[in-house]
Structure formats: C-alpha cells, structure tokens
Structure 1
Amino acid sequence: MKKNIDLLHEPILPALTRLALPIMATSLVQMAYNMTDMAWIGRVGAGAVSAVGSAAMFTWFSQGVSSLARMGGQVKVAHSLGRGDREEAGKYAQGALQLGILFAVIFGILSVAFRKQLIGFFNMQDRQIVRDAEIYLTITCGLILFSFLNAIFTGILTASGDSRTPFVANVIGLVINMVLDPFLIFGFGPIPAMGAAGAAIATVGAQAVVTAVFLWFARRDTLVFSQVHILERTSRRYIRQIIKIGFPAGVQTMIYSGISMVLTRMVTDFGDTAIAVQKVGSQIESVAWMTADGFAAAINSFIGQNFGAGKTERVKGGYKKAAWIMAAWGLGSSALLIFGAEPVFRIFIHEPEVVADGIIYLQVLGLSQMFMCEEILTEGALAGLGKTMQASVISVIFTAARIPLALLLSATALGLSGIWWAITLTSVVKGFVFVGYFVTVMRKLPPERETCRQL
C-alpha cells in the first residue's frame, strides 16, 4: 500500500478515512502515553498526581509555542503540494523545523530559570508536592525540543498525505514509555525509585526515540524532506507566511492553556488533591478530544490540499462527511464518561473522596463531548482554509468566558463542580458557533478552479 494518500483525486470518504485512521490512532497512542504515566503515578498517591498535573499545564502551554511553527508549516506545505510545487513545500517544512528548534530552546531555558515562580502560581501548600512539580517541570520543559520536533514532523507528514509514519513512530515511543515508567517511578535493582521525576524521564526518553525515528524516515522521504536543508537559511518570505498562519493558532493554544491554569488555580481553593481530580479526569476525557484533534489534522490536510488545488466541492464534501463521523464519536464518548465514570476513574486513583469528585467531573464533562468534537474538527477545517485568525478569535472569546462563569457557579451550592459546569456549558456554545460559522464560510467559497487565486 502506498504511504502517501492522493487527497486530490481519490474518493472523498476512503481518502479521508485512510488519512484519518492512523492520525486518530496516533492520538490514542499519545493519550496512552499520558494515561500510562497517570496510572503508575496514581499508585504513588493523589499528591504525586497533583504534582505532575500542575507541572504538565506548562507542557500543554508549550504546545501553543510549537503550534506557531507546526500549524503554519502544515498548512503551507499542504497548499504547496496542492499546487504541485514540491520545492516550495520543502522550504516551508525547513522553515517550520528551524522555528521549532529556536522556540524550543528559548522555552526550555525560561521554564527552568523560572520553575519556582511557575509552580508557585498554583499556590499549593504541600511542600513535597511543590518540589515534585518543580522537578517534573524542569525535566519535561527543559527538554521540550523533542516534543516540538515530533509535533512539526507529524504536521508536515500529515500535510503530504502520510499519516502512517507518525503512527509507527509514536507506537515505538509508547512501548518504550510503558517499559520505562514502572522501573523509573518505583525503582528496580540498582535503579532508585524516582516518583514524579521518573515519570518525566520516561516521557522525555520516549519522545527522544520518536524524534530519532522521524529523522530516520525523513532521510528516506522523496516528496518533501528531500528538499529540506536544516542548516541553510530560509527566506524571510517563507518564515513570514509560516508565522502568519501559525501565530493565531499558537496564541490561541497559549491563551487556552493560560485560562486552564487560572481554572486550576481556582480548583486548588478546594484542596491540593482537587488538582488530581482535574488531571485524571482530563486524561480520561482525552479519549474524545485527542481523537477529535487527530481527525481535525486529517481534515486540515485534506482541505488544505484541495483548497490549494481549487477543488471547492471536495472541500465541502470532506467537511460534511467528517462532521457526521465526529458527531458519532462524540456521542459514544459521552456514553463512556456518563455511564462508566466510576470504574474508569478507579483505574487511576482509589482514595474514596477523590473518586467521588472524579465521577462528578466525568459525568458533567460527558454532556459536552459531541459539541467539543465538532468544535475541534471545525477549527482544523478553518485552518486548512488559512482562516486561523477567525478560529482563534471565536475560541478565545468563549473559552475566556469560563473564568467568570466558573467564579459564579463555584460560589453556589455546586462548589467544585461549578467549575466543571462552566467548562461544559462553554464547550456546547463553541460547538454551535464554530459549525455555524463554517457553514457560512462554505457558502462563500469561490467556484471550482478559482480557489487557488484567493491564497
């Protein structure tokens, strides 16, 4: 079976499915990374989960920084390939990788230098939890380069129609992470028990192996990476285009994670272990949103190439089919979270009071899964059209509304669950707004063969 899928000519549903399934599987593998860490750390105790959960907020924030390079590179590579210009696609890939390396070095240095202040933001009282969080932050963010490179490689390969290579690379990383976790967290023979630090080392080690696998594949690629010369200076024209497309998406992710940090700070008012509820609950919920994010990457590349080639009807048809698939996935995820809340949450934590709050978290967030899936899918579709700014504005406005709404609801009898209700309600609204906006955009798309002149 050929590795690169012809997104411009193959029937829409088979092409989209063949591209999306490995990406969704890759997202599930990445989710398994996090859940493996959480399952082992949960055996140490809720305090260790809180430490990892608070520090991991900054690795999430880093994804926004990497998106500045990844999203711009992915979209422009797709547009270039849609026009049949492989040399230009290679220049965009080269620029994205160079920007990613630069951003990773700067982010790593700042994270390590200001680790005490960053963890101090959450105002946790337990000194051991704070120390563990600082160590976890130092390791994962100090060595964030591998995570950045992996995200950019994945975006570029997906844009070229190759979603199998990222899947293979991430499966290899998952296996290594699963092997390292128990040895480094609990110790074995001469290896001392390292707790949260062990989980961080296992994660970074696995990410480094994934980067090595990507480099091995890139050396054999003839479509895009054969045009990449990482030590050569990339023209400012390409860098500007990458940043123009990637900046809104990157800032959106950083603001989104910043808002989540504020909400996490609010969660700590209900006790340090309340962070454990949020962290474990969000990892379980990631079954839905990470898979939706993977499908969004597929629709991004599909729409990007067809928009670049002026195939408007394929753009519309691809989005409609993807929207129905994501609706079904979202409903299935809701059923899992609502009806399987207790047994699923107990896989990670066993303290009765934490489990009780965790069940409420999953059931409340379960109500919004379909809307969240449609929101994520549509963001990817808009990015494929180059409309990252519009998607970011919508997302930031309604995500920011969570803070005042959470303050209001948590001050009522709902207490901690009021924060979860704020997240759910805004997700529902965002789902409706995003789909409505994209339908409007589709109606205004230019006819066939005129699209590429609009780039």
Structure 2
Amino acid sequence: MNQSSLTTGNITKSLLRFAFPMMVGNLLQQLYNIVDTLIVGQFLGKEALAAVGSSYSLMTFLTSILLGLCMGSGVCFSICFGKREYDRMKSGIFMSFVMIGGAALLLSAAVFAGMDLILKALQVPGDVYGLMRDYLWVIFWGIAATFLYNFFASLLRAVGNSVVPLLFLGIAALSNIGLDLLFIICFHRGVRGAAEATVLSQYGAGVGIMVYTMIQFPQLRLKRENLKWQPEILKEIFQLSFLTCIQQSVMNFGILMIQGLVNSFGAVVMAAFSVAVKIDTFAYMPVQDFGNAFSTFVAQNYGAGKTERIREGIRSAVKTAFFFGASVSALVFVFARQLMLIFVNPRETEIIREGVEYLRIEGSFYYLIGFLFLCYGYYRAVKRPGMSLVLTVISLGTRVALAYILSAVPWIGVTGIWASVPIGWLLADLAGYLYYRRARIE
C-alpha cells in the first residue's frame, strides 16, 4: 500500500494537509445545489427558488443514509490500513460495496414510490408543490451516482488520499454550472433542467472516480479470494456503518422536520430559509470536513496503537476547529446581507430580512458545531459510533423540540427556529466532552 499514513510526522501539518482537499471538495459538492439555487433564484422566480431550495433538505436526508454507510465503512478501512491488514481491508471493500449498493437501490425504489406522501408530509404549499415534484423526480435518479462517488471517495480517504476525490468533484462542479446555464437559460427546461444538470454531473463524478480508482490504484483491486463473505469482518463493518448511517440520518431527519415547520410559515420564510441554509452549510463545511479528516487520523492511529499521538491530535484539532469556526462566524455575521444578495433579487426585501436574521443568530456559533464534528469523528474512529448517535439525538432533539415550542409563541415566531440551533450544539458538545473525560477510550 503506497498511500499516505497519518501515523507519523507533525500532527497539525498532517491533519491540515489531509483535510484541505476534503474541505475544498465538499465546498465544491455544495455547489451542486447552490448553483441550482442561485440560477433558479435569479431566472425562475421565488416559487421555483422555494421548490429547489426546499428539495435540498430532503435530498440531504436521503443521501445521508448512503454517506453514513460509506463513512462507517471508511473507518473500518482506516483501522485496517493502520494495522497493515490489507487482505482484510480488501474483503471489507467487497462486502461493503455490495451492502451499500443494495441499500442505494432500495432507497431509490422507496423514494419514487412514496414521493407524493413525502411532499405532503413536508407541508409543501400548493404554489410550490408541482415545481418541487418535477425537480425531485429527476434528482432521485442521481442516488446511485451519489453512492458510487461517496463509496470510492471514502475508500481513497481511508488510505490517506484526499486529492483524487477533490479532482473529480471539481470537474463535476464546473460541469454542473455549465449545464445549469445551458438547460435553464438556453433550453428553457425550468426546474427540471436544474435537476438534469445536477444528475449528469453526479454520474460523471461517481463513475469517473470508480474507473480511475480501479485503473490507477492496483493495490486496491480485489482478487478472487477477497470475493467472499467473512462473518467477522461483515459484523464489524455493519456495526460501524449502520450506527453511522443512523447518526447521519437522525441528524438530517431533524433538519427535515425543521424544513416542514419552516414551510408552514409560507413561501417568503421558506425561500429565505432555503437560501440561508445553503450559506450556512457552506460556511461550516470546513469544520465538518476537518472533523472527518480528524476521524481518519484517529482511526489510523487507533489501529496502529498510538494512543499518545491521538491525545496530541485531539489538542491540536480543538484549537484548529475553534479558529476556523470563530473566523467564519465573524465573516458571516458582518456580511450576512451581502451573502443573501448573491442568491436573491434585491427587490425581495422580506426574504433578505428573514435570511439575514437566521444567519446572524445561527452563524455566530459555528465553533460549537466545529467541536461537535470533532466528537462525531473521534467516537466513530474508536468504534463508539453509538456515542455519535447519542450526541446527534441531543443536538437535533433539542433543536426540533425548541423550534416547535418557541415558534408557537406569537412574539417569538420564526426567530425561535433559528435560536434553537446553537442551543442544541452547546448541549451536545457538553455531553461529548463529559463522556470523553469519563471514559478514556484510546
């Protein structure tokens, strides 16, 4: 195996060098939906903007199932890589590919069959319903592409290569922008064109990274002896993948419940939330990816038995995440209005006002979610994904409960939805820290 090990060298430099391509790559991945939102908002009107923007929460929830399975498998690959158990890792690659691929097919069938029930559950307004359905009907065809990209990206990152996934995402993001402009402005395909551009770009990234990995990384190719079920390995992969999948799904299901509550406030708040949440996600994406890179670092060193290096890595990661989070919070707070104007016509003053309020309330506390992502990554890496799930339940449970309670108070209203977010982050951070102090796992 000729890839990059995170078990030696300067910890901070190694983490940042490994994390940087992941940060850039995930920022590019967000461009899939952000570009749709920007172009739709400028050329197709607020109803189309609400439809495309609101679809983002649903798609994030659905793809989080596959992402969680891939992330859990990636932890297994990283631990095997740290232990230098390469045959065991290859057997795991085969079993996880079949398992997650099957889940992708079932998920695709389920969402097509239940599309109208899903939209009704989300309380989508009548003037948005048809547009959102048209958009989702096309977007759902990209679930298989999402699986392919995330599986092979997780595999490459597990063995220390975070550059190749970035390259394929970069190509996909650029093609998505070009196809958006072509389908929406030139071909007048409306919201369906935005979805078609995204799906074509996703398949380019998914199939491309799969073919590239098989050609350029012969050490990851499977042999006949790897193509069999080994109960012990399968159990380990399933436990990590399933709990990570549940954690990711719970996190995004909570966001989906918030989306349903937001929708009940009408098209203006719905459109404002749709835009602001894109900016929000884009803003804290660096700390999320730093948490994922930290997870790979911990998993490799956990496999190698380097407990002191893990402790040093924790100290370094906490300082770095705080710096990232506080810096981005300051920028978003100051430039909230300018960020909204990127996506929204200046004449839509109500949408802009609501979006700015959201960003200035939630965006002041990105360092809290930075710490939470480190907790998620750490507990996955040391084979305690159940704790990541507990922290997610605390964070999202608090957010959902407070959002529904506070927004029902007439003089608080929708502001209560925004304020519930950092409170949930804070409580989950405290729980993650206290558990770490009580149970040193390394």
1:184-239 CA-partner distances (Å, limit 9, x unpaired): 122x2xx3x12221111111111111112212321234475223679944434333
Q: Which residue does the alignment assign to 1:97?
A: 97
SS of 1:435's equivalent in the other structure is: helix
Q: Which residue does the alignment assign to 2:80?
A: 80
For 2:153, give the aligned amino acid: T
Q: Which residue does the alignment assign to 2:41?
A: 42
Counterpart Cα distance in 2 of 1:356 and 1:433: 34
Counterpart Cα distance in 1 of 2:120 and 2:77: 40
Q: Which residue does the alignment assign to 1:33?
A: 32
Is the Cα–Cα contact under 8 Å of residues 277 and 354 in structure 1 kept in the other structure?
Answer: yes
Q: Which residue does the alignment assign to 2:390?
A: 393
Which of the residues 319, 324, 342 maps onto 1:347?
342
Which of the residues 358, 362, 387 maps onto 1:361?
358
Shift of the 302–408 alpha-carbon distance from structure 1 to 2, 3 Å rule, reads same
Shift of the 381–9 alpha-carbon distance from structure 1 to 2, 3 Å rule, reads same
Counterpart Cα distance in 1 of 2:295 and 2:427: 22
For 1:251, give the aligned amino acid: I
Alignment of 1:330 with 2:325, yes or no, is yes
1:134-157 CA-partner distances (Å, limit 9, x unpaired): 122222223300111211111111
Is the Cα–Cα contact under 8 Å of residues 112 and 137 in structure 1 kept in the other structure?
Answer: no
Is the Cα–Cα contact under 8 Å of residues 69 and 244 in structure 2 kept in the other structure?
Answer: no
- Once the two structures are TM-superposed, the CA of residue 39 in structure 1 deviates from its matched residue by 0.8
1:259-302 CA-partner distances (Å, limit 9, x unpaired): 22222221122113322111211110112332222112211111
- Once the two structures are TM-superposed, the CA of residue 392 in structure 1 deviates from its matched residue by 0.5
5+ residue gaps, structure 2, are: none
Counterpart Cα distance in 2 of 1:85 and 1:283: 40
Alignment of 1:211 with 2:210, yes or no, is no
Is the Cα–Cα contact under 8 Å of residues 78 and 299 in structure 2 kept in the other structure?
Answer: yes
1:30-63 CA-partner distances (Å, limit 9, x unpaired): 1233221211111122211211233222221123
Alignment of 1:404 with 2:404, yes or no, is no
Is the Cα–Cα contact under 8 Å of residues 68 and 248 in structure 2 kept in the other structure?
Answer: no
5+ residue gaps, structure 1, are: 447-455
Q: Which residue does the alignment assign to 1:20?
A: 19
1:287-328 CA-partner distances (Å, limit 9, x unpaired): 233222211221111110110110001111112111111101
Alignment of 1:131 with 2:130, yes or no, is yes
Counterpart Cα distance in 2 of 1:219 and 1:352: 51
Counterpart Cα distance in 1 of 2:90 and 2:228: 13
Counterpart Cα distance in 2 of 1:224 and 1:340: 47
Counterpart Cα distance in 2 of 1:329 and 1:389: 27
Is the Cα–Cα contact under 8 Å of residues 158 and 297 in structure 1 kept in the other structure?
Answer: no
Q: What is the percent sequence identity of the aligned residues?
A: 24
For 2:358, give the aligned amino acid: Y
Normalised to the residue count of structure 1, the TM-score between the two structures is 0.91
Shift of the 298–352 alpha-carbon distance from structure 1 to 2, 3 Å rule, reads same
- Once the two structures are TM-superposed, the CA of residue 407 in structure 1 deviates from its matched residue by 2.1
Is the Cα–Cα contact under 8 Å of residues 51 and 129 in structure 2 kept in the other structure?
Answer: yes
Q: Quick check: 101-110 or 216-225, which moved more? A: 216-225
SS of 2:9's equivalent in the other structure is: coil
Alignment of 1:264 with 2:259, yes or no, is yes
For 1:97, give the aligned amino acid: F
- Higher helix residue share: 2
Counterpart Cα distance in 2 of 1:231 and 1:81: 16
Which of the residues 433, 437, 440 maps onto 1:435?
433
- Once the two structures are TM-superposed, the CA of residue 440 in structure 1 deviates from its matched residue by 4.1
Shift of the 230–114 alpha-carbon distance from structure 1 to 2, 3 Å rule, reads farther
Work out the number of aligned pairs and report it.
438
For 2:109, give the aligned amino acid: I
For 1:52, give the aligned amino acid: V
Is the Cα–Cα contact under 8 Å of residues 94 and 230 in structure 1 kept in the other structure?
Answer: no
Shift of the 162–77 alpha-carbon distance from structure 1 to 2, 3 Å rule, reads same
- Once the two structures are TM-superposed, the CA of residue 77 in structure 1 deviates from its matched residue by 0.5
- Once the two structures are TM-superposed, the CA of residue 28 in structure 1 deviates from its matched residue by 1.4
Shift of the 204–110 alpha-carbon distance from structure 1 to 2, 3 Å rule, reads same
Counterpart Cα distance in 1 of 2:211 and 2:397: 41
Counterpart Cα distance in 1 of 2:223 and 2:407: 52
Q: Quick check: 426-435 or 171-180, which moved more? A: 426-435
Counterpart Cα distance in 2 of 1:354 and 1:31: 21
Normalised to the residue count of structure 2, the TM-score between the two structures is 0.94
Q: Which residue does the alignment assign to 1:237?
A: 232
